[in-house]
């Protein structure tokens, strides 16, 4: 017992006096030091976060499970695939992740033939670079957005789930479904403290070949980042303005202020 107490009193770790600021951020700051190196605890936390980030990229999205969740919630769902055959090809050939494979194109063309009535909005879910983010947040985000749009009288196409899909693949889905408003939910590139970050891209009148200048992005949607309620407020504002101005992207500046953020003031940097 005396030996343990003696060891605790003579810890080799030199604490960083700025450590108290870590309660405001997940960033890896004020780690302290042991000699000229990181303390063992900080090193182990780094290795764990690095492993989580790698898992977020490589673990496959459970598309069938997600489709079943959507159907249970009352939404039609269609599973599709990009031209990237597997994860290795997806990571090495970004261009293939931006287009649908032939079978997926045929699926959407058959759907349009059977349902000639047009929809206004389509939600596309793509695994992107973090299946963890999509598996964790896409369902709740889809429900929050579609319920708000339905209250506005906008008809939605079936929710499509694209495996090995990148952002631009949503343009092809939107064009084939003939919608005016495209909402793409995609797993963002994971950081060491944010392996579960969901990105939202909005495009007015999507079509193949559009550049990122025609898209609006809402980033870092996750429990430790932007909440689903705040992201939904921002997205609805963008949709309303896009219909008024008939555009999206650089022509549509985000001047919204989330009612959720105004009410909570959780960010100490905000006035």
Output the known binding site: 167, 188, 217
Exposed (0-12), middle (13-18) or buried (19+): which is 82, by Cβ within 10 Å? buried
Distance CA 13, CA 10 (A): 9
124 sits in which H/E element: strand 121-126
Q: How far apart are the first and last CA of the chain?
A: 51
Cβ proximity of 148 and 237 under 8 Å: no
- The 10 Å Cβ neighbour count of residue 45 is 16
Cβ proximity of 63 and 194 under 8 Å: no
Distance CA 82, CA 165 (A): 6
Feature table: binding site for adenosylcob(III)alamin: 167, 188, 217
């Amino acid at each position: 017992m005396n030996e343990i107490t003696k060891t605790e009193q003579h810890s080799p770790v030199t604490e960083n006096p700025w450590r108290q600021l870590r309660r405001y951020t997940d960033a890896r700051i004020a780690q302290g030091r042991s000699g000229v190196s990181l303390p063992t605890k900080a090193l182990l936390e780094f290795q764990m976060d690095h492993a989580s980030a790698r898992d977020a990229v490589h673990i496959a999205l459970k598309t069938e499970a997600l489709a079943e969740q959507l159907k249970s919630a009352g939404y039609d769902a269609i599973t599709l695939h990009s031209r990237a055959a597997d994860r290795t090809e997806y990571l090495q050939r970004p261009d293939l992740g931006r287009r649908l494979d032939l079978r997926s194109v045929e699926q959407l063309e058959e759907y349009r033939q059977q349902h000639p009535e047009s929809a206004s909005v389509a939600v596309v879910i793509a695994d992107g670079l973090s299946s963890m983010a999509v598996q964790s947040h896409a369902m709740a985000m889809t429900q929050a957005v579609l319920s708000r749009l339905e209250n506005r009288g906008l008809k939605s196409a079936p929710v499509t789930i694209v495996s090995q899909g990148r952002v631009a693949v949503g343009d092809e889905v939107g064009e084939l479904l003939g919608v005016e408003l495209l909402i793409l939910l995609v797993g963002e590139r994971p950081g060491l403290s944010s392996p579960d970050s969901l990105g939202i891209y909005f495009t007015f009148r999507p079509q193949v070949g559009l550049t990122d200048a025609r898209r609006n992005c809402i980033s870092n949607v996750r429990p430790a980042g932007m909440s689903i309620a705040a992201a939904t407020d921002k997205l609805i504002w963008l949709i309303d303005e896009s219909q008024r101005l008939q555009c999206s992207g650089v022509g549509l500046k985000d001047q919204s202020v989330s009612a959720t953020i105004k009410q909570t003031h959780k960010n100490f940097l905000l006035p």
